[in-house]
Each structure stands twice: as C-alpha cells, then as structure tokens.
C-alpha cells in the first residue's frame, strides 16, 4: 500500500464500510476491537489510536470501553474529516481529538499515553522499527500497546498472492506476527502476547463475500457503480484464496512498556 495519502478515496471507503459496518475500514467490528483489547481495561485511560480512519473505533473506545480520552491520528484529510464529523455527531468532542498527521515521527511528547491502540494500519508504515520505537517513546512507563495488523507467512508465495499484492498496491514485505513480536521485544517491550487470526478471518471471509454477492451486489452496484462493485468483489474473492492458502494472516499483539523507564 503506497504512501500517497490518497489511498482511501470516498468510493473505496464506502466499499469497506459496506463489508465491515459503518465507521469501520477493517474487519470484525466492535467484537474484534474487544478481542484486540483482551485483558486491557481502558477505563480512565488516555489512548492513542494510530490510523484512526473514519473514527468508528475511536467512538467505540470512548463510549463502550470508557477511555478517558482518545487521540485518533491519520494521514488522509478525507478520513480525518469523516472521523471528526462522526465524533461531533456522537457528542464526544470533549473526549476524542482527531488529528491529521504526517507519516514519520509521532507528534507527541514522551510518556504521553497509557495505551497505544491501532487496527490494521501499521501495515502502511514500512519502517516497523521506527514506529514501534516511537510508540515505546510516547507510552508512559507501564503503558500498554494493543494492535492488530495484516501479516504474511514464511510459506512460498503463490501466483494468487502475488496478484493480490498488486491489486492492493502492497510494495513491501508484511513480515510475520512472530517477527513483529520479536522486534517489539528487541526495542524493550515486555509481556508480549501474540495471536494469529488466520482461522478467524478465513471464517469471517465467508460473511464478507456474502455482502458482495447476489442481491447485495446489486445494492452495492447502485451505490458504487457496476465497476466499483465488481472490483470490490474481485479483490475480496482473491483475498479469500490467499487467506485460505495461509499467506495472509491478521494478527493481534499486546505488549507493555516496562515501568523502569
């Protein structure tokens, strides 16, 4: 996925929300956000959400998970505008701050957040060591990192996988969830927990494809046009193949910044 800041135009986002629910640009909805945060209580915590997209998750973190304050950052102006509108509509401007940022260093002081959260966004940041180190820096000692991301595997690449990489514009190695966890450990994180979500997503893909077929396809085509809906269906069909081949594997990671920092 290239870093051109126009990767998620309006029509594309509409297709993602169609599959995954209003306000969400990644799969699983509130239940998957809850699974990422398993064992972490956000009550009274200051949270940073990296790659907040259109803000559905930030509203959820403030409203349902009782975060004291959420800062959602994203690099795309259209998404930030949508997120801001959603926050205002939810009456949560006092609890959620949406910020347009530039790729690169996080624009926050050291030890600013209790929790750093992210869902399916770090894949866009090629320099993992830099972003994980910066997350470590902005977390308070004892703070928790909880995120999900798209990972690859060590299996040989199939023609379908290579085609899927082209369709989604991925130009760099996703790495594995294990390599991400190792890097976090090298940086200084402790209590690292990881979870491979490939089998969960393989099941979820059935539901995702159902939102794009039959009557649903016709409804989506009314919204996006025939070409837009066909593109969405083709992309998800190809993705199901690479998920079933075990080459695309969503994963969750939780880790702690030790207190002696």
Contacting residues toward ligand SAM, per CB under 6 A: 8, 24-26, 50-53, 56-57, 73-76, 79, 103, 119-121, 124-125
Could you tell me which of 197, 179, 196, 76 has the C-alpha nearest to residue 129?
A: 179
Token pair in block for residue 49: 């959400």
CA distance 249 to 167: 17
Token pair in block for residue 184: 């976090």
The smaller minimum CB distance to ligand SAM, of residues 73 and 165, is found at: 73
Q: How far is the CB of 56 from ligand SAM (least distance, A)?
A: 6
CB 58 within 8 A of CB 82: no
Q: How far is the CB of 142 from ligand SAM (least distance, A)?
A: 24
The smaller minimum CB distance to ligand SAM, of residues 40 and 158, is found at: 40
Q: How far is the CB of 6 from ligand SAM (least distance, A)?
A: 9
Q: Number of C-alpha atoms within 13 angstroms, CB side, residue 106?
A: 26
CA distance 245 to 235: 15
What does residue 22 show for φ and ψ, rounded to 5 degrees? -60, 130
The smaller minimum CB distance to ligand SAM, of residues 130 and 166, is found at: 130
The smaller minimum CB distance to ligand SAM, of residues 8 and 161, is found at: 8
Q: How far is the CB of 95 from ligand SAM (least distance, A)?
A: 18
């Amino acid at each position: 996925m290239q870093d051109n800041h126009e990767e998620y135009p309006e029509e594309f986002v509409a297709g993602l929300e169609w599959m995954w629910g209003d306000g969400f640009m990644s799969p699983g909805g509130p239940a998957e956000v809850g699974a990422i945060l398993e064992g972490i209580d956000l009550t009274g915590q200051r949270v940073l959400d990296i790659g907040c997209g259109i803000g559905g998750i930030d509203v959820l973190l403030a409203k349902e998970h009782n975060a004291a304050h959420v800062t959602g950052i994203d690099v795309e102006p259209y998404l930030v505008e949508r997120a801001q509108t959603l926050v205002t509509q939810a009456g949560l401007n006092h609890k959620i701050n949406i910020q347009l940022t530039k790729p690169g260093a996080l624009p926050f002081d050291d030890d600013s957040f209790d929790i750093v959260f992210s869902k399916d966004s770090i894949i866009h940041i090629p320099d993992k060591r830099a972003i994980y180190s910066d997350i470590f820096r902005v977390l308070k000692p004892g703070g928790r990192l909880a995120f999900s991301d798209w990972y690859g595997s060590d299996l040989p690449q199939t023609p379908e996988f290579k085609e899927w990489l082209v369709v989604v514009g991925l130009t760099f190695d996703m790495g594995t969830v294990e390599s991400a966890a190792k890097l976090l450990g090298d940086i200084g994180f402790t209590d690292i927990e990881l979870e491979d979500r490939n089998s969960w997503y393989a099941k979820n893909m059935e539901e995702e494809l159902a939102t794009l077929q039959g009557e649903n396809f016709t409804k989506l085509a009314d919204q996006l046009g025939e070409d837009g809906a066909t593109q969405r269906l083709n992309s998800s069909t190809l993705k199901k193949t690479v998920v079933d081949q075990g080459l695309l594997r969503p994963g969750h990671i939780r880790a702690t910044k030790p207190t002696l920092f």
